[in-house]
Amino acid sequence: MQRLGILLSGRGSNFLAIADAISAGRLRAEIAIVISNLAGSPGIAAARDRGLNAQVIPARARSREEHDAEIIAALQSAKVDLVCLAGYLRLLSPSFIRAYSQRILNIHPSLLPAFPGLHAQKQALEYGAKIAGCTVHFVDEKLDHGPIILQRALPVLPGDTEESLAARILEQEHIAYPEAIALVVEGRTRIEGRTVRITP
């Protein structure tokens, strides 16, 4: 059974969707550790409620490398196979990405390469996009850039606000992220250049 390490900074709704998919048997994996950089993350409280190993590792006044080294040590100590970013609001250092090369996933609330970075839903509305979506991808050195495992699209509706659009995208994220993790832990993904080939 593959062991997941979840990194989050907030409520961790994607973490809960992953945990629910495991409970429901849709995703054969186990959550080995949940880590937040922020002590007050509701996601950490939710992880503890579920009896999971949950740790707060604050950045304090340290360099990114030092902070990441402590996180890597925690992930290694928990024997994590695959790192899943779930609303983790810090950039990973290059050494973190090397330590878990092609074993770090992220979810982003747009159809990348459209609208990378913060406030993707607001960017989509301001651009006047009529189709929005979300992307699960392997993490590489560039922001919101690595090879894409899957994407889900949905319509932008008349009258959509940033909040209403974000909520509908989040519903799709909660479907997409467990599906993508399942593809990876089942060994059905193969990275060729930028393309992720999926074995049926």
Q: Is 151 in the site for a copy of itself (CB under 8 A)?
A: yes
Q: Is 187 in the site for a copy of itself (CB under 8 A)?
A: no
Residue of 17, 149, 165, 185 interacting with a copy of itself (CB under 8 A)? 149
Residue of 80, 150, 169, 182 interacting with a copy of itself (CB under 8 A)? 150
Residue of 17, 44, 85, 129 interacting with a copy of itself (CB under 8 A)? 129
Q: Tell me, yes or no, if 108 is annotated catalytic.
A: yes
Residue of 77, 127, 161, 190 interacting with a copy of itself (CB under 8 A)? 127
By beta-carbon proximity to a copy of itself, the closer residue of 98 and 130 is 130
Hey, which residues does 36 pair with through a beta bridge? 8, 56
Return the active site residues: 108
The binding site for a copy of itself (CB under 8 A) comprises: 111-115, 125-131, 133, 135, 147-153, 158, 193-198, 200
